[in-house]
Structure 1
Amino acid sequence: MLKLNQVHHIAIICSDYERSKRFYTEVLGLKIVREVYREARQSYKLDLIVGDRYQIELFSFPSPAPRPSRPEAAGLRHLAFEVDALDEAVFHLKEFGVEAEPIRVDEFTGKRFTFFTDPDGLPLELYEV
């Protein structure tokens, strides 16, 4: 039987590297682990750390193909971030001009959550614990 230990990283391809870099570092506050430019691919790769455990790899490629981004499109539905205080997190997003959907309550866990999008329309979620 295959034994998976944990999620190692999440890879995201962006359409505007500088815009997405600002969003993930300044708006979401993720820390940069490493940034490299790969000449052969004409691509940046930015490694970001979430908390002290998970890593997001932000890639830039020339002319990436568009993809469906609504939460109900086939493929990855969304990326969820755990927060302690949802109201504070939503207020923080608004300070940067990022609009979140109205806060909802998970009918099974009773926990509050909301969705918003990154600069390319990738659905992101804040989930309060």
Structure 2
Amino acid sequence: MEGIMALRTGHVGINVTDLDRSRRFYVELFGLEVLGESTEDGRRFAFLGNPDVRSDVFLDRLAITLWEQSSGTFSTGTPGLHHLAFHVESVTEVEAVRDRVQNLGVEMLHGGEIVPHSSDFDSGGFFFVDPDGVRLEVCAPAGVPTDRAVTEAAPSCGFFPPSAD
């Protein structure tokens, strides 16, 4: 379409049930920093940013916003977010994040295996859930053996084991 600028993903907003718990989870796991927050009753939120981004522009640094305005757990059976993926440069980095996830005692999907996106592509990663059940992925662009595909040619990031639903 003429006149439309190229889009890129900005920050991701996530509804949470317990802001303190979720802030700790994302800060501890990914090394994000709190750029701003509100603890005002009924208006609790946290802006989390990437400390490696060197910019004076707030939106350049903003990665995740957490909004304490929900109850229950993330629904994998209704329309909406399927999962949230974070990209790193290598399988070694995927392994390092997976080690942190294991140390936090977080539920991992596909048995915590680093799986290729399909039997046709050696990109891939591992899958786990945040404190409210949001499915997360950390993946690398290459280097994952394709013989570990969990869904053959279909993308493993699109199909989760029954226990995740």
TM-score tier by shorter-chain length is: 0.7 to 0.9
The answer to whether structure 1 residue 124 and structure 2 residue 132 are counterparts is: no
Query: 8 Å contact 1:69–1:123 — kept in the other structure?
Result: no
TM-score (norm 1): 0.81
Contact 2:16–2:71 at 8 Å: present in 1 too?
no
Q: Which amino acid aligns with 1:95?
A: N
Shift of 1:86: 1.5
Deviations 1:46-95 (A, max 9, x none): 1111453552111112xx2546533x642111110112322221111111
Rounded Cα–Cα distance in structure 1 between residues aligned with 2:20 and 2:102: 20
Structure 2 unmatched ranges of 5 or more: 54-59, 142-165
Please give the TM-score of this superposition, normalised by the length of structure 2.
Answer: 0.65
Paired position in structure 2 for 1:115 = 127
Unaligned runs of 5+ in 1: none
Structure ranking higher in helix proportion: 2
Q: For the Cα contact (< 8 Å) 1:44–1:59, is it kept in 2?
A: yes
Q: Secondary structure at the match of 1:111?
A: strand
Aligned Cα root-mean-square deviation (Å): 2.2
Give the greater-gyration-radius structure (CA).
Answer: 2
Partner of 2:84: 79
Alignment pair present for 1:103 and 2:114:
yes
Q: How many residues align?
A: 124
Which structure shows the higher strand fraction?
1
